Amino acid sequence: MTYPGEQFYPKGVNWSDPIERGTLPDLLSTAAAEFGARPALEFRDRPIGFSELEAMVETAAAAFMRAGYGKGSTVALFLGNTPDHPINFFGALKAGARLVHLSPLDGEIALSHKLADSGARVLVTSNLSALLPTALKFLDRGLLDRLIVCEDDNWGKVGTPQTARPDNPAILTHRQFIDGASRPAQWPAIDVEDVALLQYTGGTTGLPKGAMLSHGNLTAAVSIYDVWGKPARLERNAVERVICVLPLFHIYALTVVLLSSIRHGNLVSLHQRFDVEAVMRDIEVKRATAFPGVPTMWIAIAALPDLDKRDLSSLVSCGSGGAPLPVEVATIFERRVGMKLRIGWGMTETCSPGTGHPKEGPDKPGSIGLMLPGIELDVVSLEDSTKVMPTGEVGEIRIRGPNVTKGYWNRPKETAEAFVGDRFLTGDIGYMDADGYFFLVDRKKDMIISGGFNVYPQMIEQAIYTHPAVQEVIVIGIPDDYRGEAAKAFIKLRDGETPFSIDELRAFLTGKLGKHELPAAVEFVAELPRTAVGKLSRHELRQQQPQPPQLITNS
């Protein structure tokens, strides 16, 4: 059987090629055995070898087990892009625990919900001032039993703002936590079906829900990319230097950068934040070969006034994902640099893989590409999710594959609603053309994707409703040249109240929401649109707005 689009696959790649499934600790152990002292990570110009990384992971794992955080427990990570993330990520998993990622960009409402819902009673964070004060609030509110604080200066002093650790027996430095921890005679048995990660997503109709991603899901995701990229790797036969500015708490960076790089013995060059000149130094001076980014990063690079004079010749792979990429940006980059930006589509619930563009094949601007090996996509009627639509007809995209979540944590109703048999309903509306290329035209859900991060309108609305002057509010996404999309609040004021500026609104919401959730615009209206039964209608409000320009779309 030939699958749609398979005729355009890289030479030697078939849809039915075997997809391997295993456990994440085994992924690292195999890499350490194969690559030894070869650098796995580089942070602040310090390399960390594969064997060294595994040794640190095993020490952390032993400490988690000693503290009782093994099988059946949940460990929360509230960390940025430093080696502390992979050390504790793999360490907790090797101890048999499941993980939950907390985003430093989230506000306290969302973070508190994720902690409580996941059941995590221990949190690993950093003494950075951007993280520790928030983590301390969770401890004070009784959401945690223990706080483990990594010390940023362990990786070299760079003058990052830090917060002193309070004297509290429930708070340990990471050094204290691992001190004296000895490896067990035998590590806990881990099954491929065990949940490895609760990755929260999809809060458009309420609070975010945790997608249960098993060891098998995540290793299958790595294997899918492995199969897809095998011809290019064999042709290159080189160790890649992969720039990681994408946050490791995001599924895109976790799978595409960290796990895939470990699988192939590549070097991950960790950056704590996106700084265009630091990235250019990695490319021009350190000769980085791969850079997966989100559109905001490519927009900044495309806007460099001297881009056509910069040396990007070391790059062999550039990718954009996580959010819509304007066609214009891709065109500018290709014209000035001579490279195509490869794009693809995926979801948290698919551990990232979904579609991709082959190096050779038809040029189809606006397409999200072909379904990747081992993954089945189809398009079903919006009225009947069991009815498959013909080629070219618009409907909701469904997906099936070994990388697809088993469902949502403690949400049997939402899980049942998300599946038709073993096919997951993505909530994305699109179609497949005669060549097997997929195109997205809309999102069924109201979620806004801003700069690669999920932003949930209802969360913003809940915070805006705490403003004493606000009577009603609807938040929708509007086109944004930099972020792809941004939140705009449409507000009906209480009688006698006067409008306020967007800066005043953002100041009021600061602390209640994450920075990426703050609205970029506000408009005051006499009335907000409603449905026939009187509910406020985002759909009708969106219909009243100017249509966005053509986009190359990723999810």
**Would you give the DSSP letter of residue 238?**
S
Residue 167 class from Cβ within 10 Å (0-12 exposed, 13-18 middle, 19+ buried)?
exposed
| Bridge partner list, 509 | none
Beta strands 241-244; 267-270: pairing state: parallel
* 340: number of Cβ within 10 Å: 13
Across 352-360, average pLDDT: 92
Q: Which helix (H) or strand (E) holds 93?
A: helix 84-94
Q: Which fold has domain 24-190?
A: Rossmann fold (3.40.50)
Q: Do domains 6-18+214-443 and 449-550 have the same CATH topology?
A: no
- Alpha carbon distance 38, 28 (integer Å): 13
Q: Which fold has domain 449-550?
A: GMP Synthetase; Chain A, domain 3 (3.30.300)
Least trusted range by pLDDT, from 95-99, 432-436, 481-485, 530-534: 530-534
- Which pLDDT tens digit goes with each residue over 302-326? 888 898 889 999 999 988 887 666 6
pLDDT band with cut points at 50, 70 and 90 for residue 471: confident
Q: Copy the structure tokens of residue 517.
A: 């959730």
**pLDDT at residue 155, as a whole number:** 94
Q: Which helix (H) or strand (E) holds 454?
A: strand 453-455
**pLDDT at residue 329, as a whole number:** 76
- Alpha carbon distance 468, 322 (integer Å): 35
- Reported pTM: 0.85
**At 113, which amino acid appears?**
H
pLDDT band with cut points at 50, 70 and 90 for residue 211: very high
Q: Which fold has domain 6-18+214-443?
A: Rossmann fold (3.40.50)
Q: What is the crossing angle of helices 215-236 and 24-35, to 10°?
A: 30
pLDDT band with cut points at 50, 70 and 90 for residue 534: low
**At 458, which amino acid appears?**
Q
Q: Residue 70 pLDDT > 50, yes or no?
A: yes
100, 122 Cβ separation under 8 angstroms: no
pLDDT band with cut points at 50, 70 and 90 for residue 294: confident
Q: Residue 552 pLDDT > 50, yes or no?
A: no
Three-state DSSP class for residue 300: helix
pLDDT band with cut points at 50, 70 and 90 for residue 344: confident
Phi-psi region of 39 (alpha: psi -120 to 50; beta: other; left: phi over 0): beta
- Alpha carbon distance 35, 487 (integer Å): 45
- Alpha carbon distance 44, 154 (integer Å): 11
* 27: number of Cβ within 10 Å: 21
Mean pLDDT, the chain, rounded, equals 91
Please provide the size of the chain in residues.
555
Q: Where exactly are the structural domains of the chain?
A: 6-18+214-443, 24-190, 449-550
- Which pLDDT tens digit goes with each residue over 403-428? 999 999 999 999 999 999 999 999 98
403, 224 Cβ separation under 8 angstroms: yes
Q: Residue 550 pLDDT > 50, yes or no?
A: no
Least trusted range by pLDDT, from 229-233, 351-355, 469-473: 469-473
